[in-house]
Structure formats: C-alpha cells, structure tokens
Amino acid sequence: MTTMTGSRSQLSPAARIARMHRQGKLTALLLFLPPALVLFTLFVIWPIFNAANLSFFKWSGYGAIDNFVGTQNYQRLANHSVFHQSLWNSVKLILASLFIQIPLALTLALLIYKKTSINTAFRLIFFAPYILAEIASGVIWSFIFDGDFGVSGQIATALGIEPFYILADRQFAFLAIITVVVWKYFGYHMMIFIAALQAVPDDLIEAADIDGAGRWQKVFYVKLPLIMHAIKLSAFFAIVGALQVFDIIIPLTNGGPSNSTHSIVSYLYTYGLAQLNVGYGAAVGVVLFILCMVTAFSYRRLAMGKGGAL
Amino acid sequence: MNRPGFFLALVRAAVLSIVAALVIVPLIATFLGGFKSVGELRASPFGLPPVWRIETYTDILGGPVFWGYIQNSLIISFSAVFLTLMLASMAAYIFAQIHFFGSKYIQAYLLLGLMFPFATAIVPLFLQIRNFGLLDNPLGVILPQTAFSMAFAIVLLRSFFQQLPKELFEAAYVDGCGYIGFFFRFTLPLSTPILATVGTFVFVQSWNNYLLPLVVINDSAGYTWPLGIMRYRGEFMVEWNRILAFVSLTILPALIFFTFTQKYIVAGLTRGSVKG
C-alpha cells in the first residue's frame, strides 16, 4: 500500500480523480459514501455541536433563540443539589461496576469458559438479562422490591414486621437500583472475559502445567495477565455504561424518592427535556459528553498505552 | 479427584447454581405472576399458581393495544436494521475496497460516533427531529437509531470486507464487473455472517430502546412496546398480575429470538469489543 500511494502522489489531484473516474471508482464512491455520512452528520454530529451552542441560551423550544445567557446554565447546574446527587449516584454505580460486577463476571467466566454443554447452558442463563429491555427488567424488579408483594414483602411477613418499601426509601433505593444494574449487565462483562479466555493459547496453560503451576497460580500468573486487555476494556464499558443509565431508573424509582436516585441522563430528561428547558438540557448533555470524552481519552492513555487491543 | 479438588468443584457448583437462581427466579416469578390473581400474588409471589388462570393473558392478547405496540416496534426495528445494513455496508465497502485521499479522515470522523451515547445529544436531537417534521413518525426513531449504529456497523463490516480474498475482485474486474456490481454480486452474498451479526445487534438495541421513542412519539397509537409497558403500568398501578402478564408477553419473543441468535449477538459483542 505504501508503494501504491508513493506512485500516486506523483499525479496531480485532477489526474488522480480522472483516473478514479476511468476505473469506475468515482461513481461507486459518490453513490455509496454520502448516504451514511449525511445521516451520521445530521443525527449524530450536528446535534452534539448544536448542544454546545444551545447551552449558552435560555430557550423554551419555541420562537427565536435570542436570549443569550452566557454560562448561566452551567452555573445553575453546578449549584443544583439534585445534579450533585446524580453525579454521586453515577460514581456509586461506577464503583459497584468495578468492584462488584466485574469481579463477579470474572469469577464466573473462569468457572465456565471451557466449552462444555453444561457451561453453555449457564452462559445462556447468565447472559439472558442483558438481552432483556431495561424497561422490562426495571418493571420486573419493581415488583420484586414492592413492599406489598415481592421479596421484601415476603421477608416482612415472615418476620411479622411492617412491609418495607425499599424503592421509596431514601437510604436504600439507590442500592436497589445498583442491584438491578449488576443483575442486568454482569453477563455482558462475563461474555467479554469468556471470549478472551477462550483465546488464550492452550500451550501456555500446558507449559504452566509442566512447570508445576497450581490451580491458583495458573489463574493469577497466566490467565489473568493474558486477558488484562479484556478486563480494562470491560472496565471502560462499565464506566461509560454507568454514565448513561436511564431506562432502568424510570420504572424503578423515576428518580425519587425526593430526587435522590437520579442518574445524569434521568436528570437531563427530567429537568431539561420534559420541561423543555432546552438550554439547560443541552448544558447537561455537554457535561455528559465531556465526561464520556475524558473517560475515553484517559482510558486510551492509561489502559492501552502499550499497544493493546485498540 | 483429590480432596481440595472435590471441595472446589462443590463450591463451583454452588456459586453457579446460586447466580443462575438469582437470574431465573425473577423471570419465572414474572411468568407465573400472570397466571395468579392479585390476592394469590400477594400471598405467594414466587410459588406456583394454585389455579392456572389464563384470562389475564388472553385479555391482553385479545385486547386493543398489545399487537399495535408489537407491530410498531417491529416496523421500527426492522427498518433500522435494513437501513443500517444497507448504508453501513456501502460505506464500509468503499473504505475496504478503494483507496482515496481523505479516507482516513472520514473514517476517524465516523469513529467519533463510538465515543458518546445518544443521550448526550438528546435535546438537540429532539429539536432536529422536530425541524424535519418527524415527531410522531416512525422515521423520527428509525433515522437517528440508524445514524447512531453507523459507526459500530461500519467498523465491523469494513474489517470483514478487507478479509475477503483480493484475487476475487481482480478476476471479476478483468471480466468487466465494476465496483458497484461487485458489491451486490459478491461482497454482500459472501458477508452473510457479519451482516447477521450486525443486524441482530442493531435489532436488539432498537427493539429495547426507550429514550428515543419516548421523546419522539407522543401519540399512543404509535407507541413501541417499552412505551406500551410503561403506559400499561400507569393504567393498572397495583394490579401486578396484569402488569407481569404484559411484561411476560413482551419479553417472551425476545427471549426466544435470543436463544436462536445468541451466536450472532455474542459475536457482535466480542468482535466489537476486541476490535472496537
């Protein structure tokens, strides 16, 4: 390829285009590329740039956009306790993902990564919640957590105490949400680990066997180091995923009680979109965008610095 | 097997069974809940129903709204899959087959789409859809979903197309087959596994999507099934048996579909994560 570009660079741009045209490349290019690019620009890139612009205005969504307010939206955001809570909730979700979900997924992956029929059955079961819609999962778990029905109802009856409504409890409601998030996504991370473990060459394991490595030594000195890229990647997905949790929260608590369980996105929806505070919602979007970008870039720096999978 | 080995096998079986139970029990309780009365549900949320009542299920299946939601969701999801596969494979083909100035920059531009979730731009996205007059129109959901699947789909398709044998194109080109003809006659038919992977993945995402239809579709006649569930729950509040039956009916096709296509879903997931 390098030699090809070398010979091409001697041609003038016009000559290159003319040659592409003779070969039929130009027609293909002009027919095939623009549809994807146009759609992508209209619905992905343009809204993001527009968000940055709108976030400096106060606008109700109708009429002219002429009420420039500078950084006022961002200042309000920085001072809003509900937004602080939603950020803190995202941090809690990230911590739970990193320290509960990923270790759980990794343990399960190590237990069932070998291709046997029983393992396949377990894999299928563990992965099922990931396929279910967030909304359906949220509704199912709101039944389980219902103080009059579900688990907590049963426990309360068994102990002869008043029913406990965990989703209406400021202290525990978010814990319930974390439980559902872990339930929903651990299988996803497990699948990433299983794919990585299956790619570990057998002869490395055999070599370790010959060297007399024990069960745990093989796990900690051979398998885990070899799938480190998958673990880092999984951590990255967990963080980005935690930043955008929305669908699960709506059926479970809808951000309540007293706005204590909002995520960034449910906050954005409630305070920006539902009330058509366009500028304000755009500002929340920009903050979320920056958080995602910072995560992506620091991930590239930290995790993939030495030529990983990406 | 030595003693620690046996002990470990026991622990392993216990861990796997407990986690499997935690996954399955809520789902089973949901299916069974639809067969109970509210009173029975309150008395025994997880047990077998004392009498198998099918009225709740048949009411929903015979009712006016359920099939409408399913139909709307199917239209949206299939269109999103078709459009994504079409547009993304065309673009990916160009990147894989033709070297041209700017190719790298355009690909980097598209990769931006992998970096952020569409929730970040949901407010301006809503305005954009409104400007195009697509509120309460399935296209208002289909087009943005397609656009947001574009980056991921192009990455997977391009790397697959690049692995197709080069000799094939050279032979076809000598025989007078042009770039466009080759795409339809050879590239697409040879790429069914990757098209199935991408298609399944886009389908699941579109089928489960809640935020975008919530923002775009106001008229309940156009509701997709996740919006339908929330509306149904709002209507029947404490009649959990009805709600659970409704949820069961909507997730059952997804679970069946998943059992048959999990190969593709997992392939998309791991391919996307390894090469993303």
Q: Tell me: pLDDT of A308 over 50.
A: no
Gyration radius from chain B CA atoms: 24
ipTM score: 0.90
Average pLDDT over residues A169-186: 92
State the pTM of this model: 0.89
Would you state the pLDDT for residue A101? 95
Q: Residue B147 is nearest to which of A42, A54, A136, comparing CB atoms?
A: A42
Would you state the pLDDT for residue A9? 52
d(C-alpha B200, C-alpha B202), whole Å? 6
d(C-alpha A271, C-alpha A286), whole Å? 14
Q: What is the mean pLDDT of each run of 10 residues along chain B (276 residues)?
A: 76 94 93 90 85 90 91 96 97 92 91 81 91 95 95 92 87 86 92 90 91 93 94 87 93 85 76 49
A138 touching B (Cβ < 8 Å): no
User: pLDDT digits over A18-69, tens only?
Assistant: 877 777 888 889 999 999 999 999 999 999 888 889 999 998 888 888 888 8
Residues 6+ apart with CB under 8 A from B145: B76, B80, B84, B202, B205, B206, B209, B212
Spell out which residues of chain B touch residue A128, defining contact as CB-CB under 8 Å: 23, 27, 255, 258
Q: Residue A43 is nearest to which of B120, B147, B255, comparing CB atoms?
A: B147
* End-to-end CA, chain B: 42
User: pLDDT digits over B222-232, tens only?
Assistant: 999 999 999 99
B92 → chain A, closest CA residue: A33
Spell out which residues of chain A touch residue B124, defining contact as CB-CB under 8 Å: 46-48, 50-51, 54, 282, 285
d(C-alpha A272, C-alpha A270), whole Å? 6
Q: Tell me: pLDDT of A303 over 80.
A: no
Check if the beta carbon of residue B115 is closer than 8 Å to that of residue A237: no
Q: Do A292 and B115 touch (CB under 8 A)?
A: yes
Would you state the pLDDT for residue B29? 92
CA distance B43 to chain A (A): 8
Reduced 3-state DSSP string for A100-128: HHHHHHHHHHHHHCCCCHHHHHHHHHHHH
Average pLDDT over residues A160-177: 85
A144 touching B (Cβ < 8 Å): yes
Q: Which domains does chain B have, with CATH numbers?
A: 3-58 (no CATH), 64-275 (1.10.3720.10)
What percent of chain A has a predicted confidence (pLDDT) above 90? 46
DSSP states of A173-186: HHHHHHHHHHHHHH
Would you state the pLDDT for residue B260? 83
Which residues 15-74 of B have a C-beta within 8 angstroms of A?
A: 15-16, 19-20, 22-24, 26-27, 29-30, 33, 41-42, 45-46
Query: Confidence class of residue A150 from pLDDT cuts 50, 70 and 90?
Result: confident
How many interface pairs between A and B have CB atoms less than 8 angstroms apart? 279
| Spatial CA neighbour of B255 closest among B223, B221, B208, B222 | B208
| Spatial CA neighbour of A223 closest among A237, A246, A207, A245 | A207
Average pLDDT over residues A81-100: 94
Spell out which residues of chain A touch residue B16, defining contact as CB-CB under 8 Å: 108, 111-112, 122
Could you give the angle at which helices A173-198 and B240-275 cross, rounded to 10 degrees?
Answer: 40
Would you state the pLDDT for residue A226? 85
CA A287-A293-A296 angle, 5° bins: 145
d(C-alpha B19, C-alpha A103), whole Å? 13
Would you state the pLDDT for residue A305? 53
Q: Residue A139 is nearest to which of B19, B229, B274, comparing CB atoms?
A: B229
CA distance A47 to chain B (A): 5
Query: Pick the residue with more confidence: A89 or B7?
Result: A89
Residue A68 backbone phi and psi in degrees, to 5: -70, 125
Mutate to test the interface with B, among A60, A108, A135 (most CBs of B within 10 A): A135
Residues 6+ apart with CB under 8 A from A267: A82, A83, A86, A255, A284
Spell out which residues of chain A touch residue B233, defining contact as CB-CB under 8 Å: 139, 251
CA B180-B186-B191 angle, 5° bins: 115
Check if the beta carbon of residue B207 is closer than 8 Å to that of residue B254: yes
Would you state the pLDDT for residue A304? 59
A235 → chain B, closest CA residue: B273
Question: What is residue A57's three-state secondary structure?
Answer: strand
Spell out which residues of chain B touch residue A278, defining contact as CB-CB under 8 Å: 123, 127
> If 0-12 CB within 10 Å is exposed, 13-18 middle and 19+ buried, where does residue A112 land?
buried
Would you state the pLDDT for residue A10? 66
Q: Residue B251 is nearest to which of A122, A136, A247, comparing CB atoms?
A: A136
User: pLDDT digits over B203-216, tens only?
Assistant: 989 999 999 999 99
d(C-alpha A174, C-alpha B236), whole Å? 25
d(C-alpha A46, C-alpha A42), whole Å? 5
Q: Tell me: pLDDT of A110 over 50.
A: yes
Query: Confidence class of residue A7 from pLDDT cuts 50, 70 and 90?
Result: very low
Would you state the pLDDT for residue A18? 80
What percent of chain B has a predicted confidence (pLDDT) above 70? 96
Check if the beta carbon of residue A57 is closer than 8 Å to that of residue A67: yes
Average pLDDT over residues A149-156: 75
Q: Tell me: pLDDT of A233 over 60.
A: yes
Which residues 226-265 of B have a C-beta within 8 angstroms of A?
A: 226, 229-230, 233, 238, 240, 243-244, 247, 250-251, 254-255, 258-259, 262, 265
What is the longest distance spanned by two Cα atoms in chain B? 76
Residues 6+ apart with CB under 8 A from B239: B38
Q: Do A143 and B106 touch (CB under 8 A)?
A: no
Half-sphere CA count of A107, side-chain side, radius 13 A: 14
Average pLDDT over residues A116-129: 91
Q: Residue B124 is nearest to which of A54, A187, A192, comparing CB atoms?
A: A54
Q: Which domains does chain A have, with CATH numbers?
A: 75-302 (1.10.3720.10)
